[in-house]
């Protein structure tokens, strides 16, 4: 009798475990902190072609922050507004020599 009872308990154990399971959602939720796409923070690029040069003007929220100048003769150079005050500084590269973006996280 004990063996029969233990066999019945073992056979019904998977049924008890299956009652607690819930189906997985069809689409996994996005990672925390992910925001929806915002077109306002995407740069707007305006290309101006002239006889002697081509300029690519980069703007965010309507504010010009960088100009890439490609002259007909000579190397490409960049005019960058590093402080956001409208004063552009000429730079030959935009690679590793560029300063990383720096934001004020906390001030008092």
Q: Return the pLDDT at 44.
A: 86
**Confidence (pTM):** 0.50
Q: Return the pLDDT at 1.
A: 63
* Domains of the chain, first to last: 39-91 (2.20.130.30)
pLDDT (tens digit per residue) in 34-72: 655 666 667 788 999 999 999 999 988 888 889 999 999
Q: How far apart are CA 58 and CA 44, in angstroms?
A: 6
Residue 39's closest CA among 66, 59, 67, 69? 59
pLDDT (tens digit per residue) in 6-37: 666 666 655 555 556 677 666 666 666 665 56
Is the confidence at residue 73, as pLDDT, over 80?
Answer: yes
CA 94-88-90 angle, to 5 degrees, is 45
């Amino acid at each position: 009798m004990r063996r029969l009872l233990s066999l019945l308990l073992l056979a019904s154990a998977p049924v008890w475990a299956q009652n607690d399971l819930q189906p997985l959602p069809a689409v996994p939720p996005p990672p925390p902190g992910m925001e929806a796409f915002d077109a306002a923070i995407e740069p707007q690029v305006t290309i101006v072609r002239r006889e002697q040069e081509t300029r690519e003007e980069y703007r965010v929220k309507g504010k010009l922050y960088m100009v890439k100048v490609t002259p007909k003769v000579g190397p490409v150079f960049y005019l960058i507004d590093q402080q956001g005050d409208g004063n552009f500084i000429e730079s030959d590269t935009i690679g590793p020599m560029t300063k990383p973006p720096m934001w004020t996280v906390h001030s008092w």
